[in-house]
Amino acid sequence: QSEHQTGLAVDVSSPSVGYQLSSDYGRMTEGKWLAEHAYQFGFILRFPEGKEHITGYQYEPWHIRYVGPAAAKEIYEQGLTLEEFLQQNDIESR
Residues annotated catalytic, as ranges: 60
User: In terms of C-beta distances under 8 Å and separation of at least 24 residues, what long-range contacts does 86-93 make, across chains too?
Assistant: none
Buried-state track 24-33, b at ≥16 Cβ within 10 A, e below 16 = ebbebebbee
